[in-house]
Amino acid sequence: MIFSFTEPSLIAKRSVKALHPPFNFMQRQLNKASLGQRALLWVLGCLVRLWGRTLRVEGPIPEGVKSTSGRIVLLWHNTLFVLMELRRRYCPDVPGAGLISASKDGAWLAGLLETMGLGAIRGSSSFRGSAALREGVAWLQQGGDLAITPDGPRGPRYKLKPGAAALAKLTGAPIILVSPRFANSWRFNSWDGFHLPKPFSTVYLSVAFYENFQALGLEQEASVQEISEVLGRHLGLGRRPFSDSRTVVR
């Protein structure tokens, strides 16, 4: 889901065409869900929404989360399931999109987001990386939130890649770090150890808000690599411990 950049400043100098909601890059020439798959995804989207409403969420929410827009939202790939429900509860009125790979697997997630009224910026290191960065910059500048799983789409787990840091440096956007912990979840035998919280279980939420990347203690001239390292450390603080009350799904 995230890609590498060596000279983001060069991309920032290019003109970026304004984007306007509804925001959906699935209409581009990309791998995308078929009509039948979209029907299945609509059903799945309804299930995800209902499932999310059963969860008990505990933990303070910083004021900046409720009073700002145009944020970069980061969470690890294996906690992605709770993202839509957290958005519904705490910032439902801010337009949202996810940074998703342009692969066939990414098409499923993009289609699922679409059923929930969210957009998708499609790009990865192998396809549409620069285009996705430009579109992400434009989206954030228009006040839309952009969710990123910085260790996706295929890991390594808890290894933050530089795409989110490049966006933070180019835009100066606020940053929200989301670190859910699950009291009771199924955990899949996937590269990320994906967590599916059990219905009616408790999610312990740790959320950090930063007005921009300098609020992380960095200088304006900090490099993308430096920003990425600091973001990884801060987000990593919330990744452990998960509850031992879980079921491994193979």
Taking residues 9-14, report their average pLDDT: 36
Q: Which comes out higher in pLDDT, residue 152 or 211? A: 211
Q: What are phi and psi of 12, to 5 degrees?
A: -65, -25
What is the per-residue pLDDT for 6?
A: 35
DSSP per residue over the chain, as a string? -----S-HHHHHTS------SS--GGGSSS----HHHHHHHHHHHHHHHHHHHT-EEES---HHHHH--S-EEE--GGGGGGHHHHHHHH-TTS-EEEEE-SSHHHHHHHHHHHHTT-EEEE--SSSSHHHHHHHHHHHHHTT-EEEE-TTTTT--TT---THHHHHHHHH---EEEEEEEESSEEEESSTT--EEEPTT-EEEEEEEEESSGGGGT--TT--HHHHHHHHHHHHHTTS-PPPS-EEEE-
What is the per-residue pLDDT for 33?
A: 66
Flag the least confident range among 93-107, 140-154, 161-175, 230-244.
Answer: 230-244
Flag the least confident range among 20-34, 108-122, 189-203, 216-230.
Answer: 20-34
Residues of the chain with pLDDT > 70, as a percent, come to: 80
Across the chain, mean pLDDT equals 83
- Where exactly are the structural domains of the chain? 26-249
Tell me the per-residue pLDDT of 88-135, one tens digit each, with 9 for 90 and over: 999 999 999 999 988 877 888 888 888 888 999 988 666 777 888 999
What is the per-residue pLDDT for 91?
A: 92
What is the per-residue pLDDT for 105?
A: 79
Fold of 26-249: Glycerol-3-phosphate (1)-acyltransferase (3.40.1130)
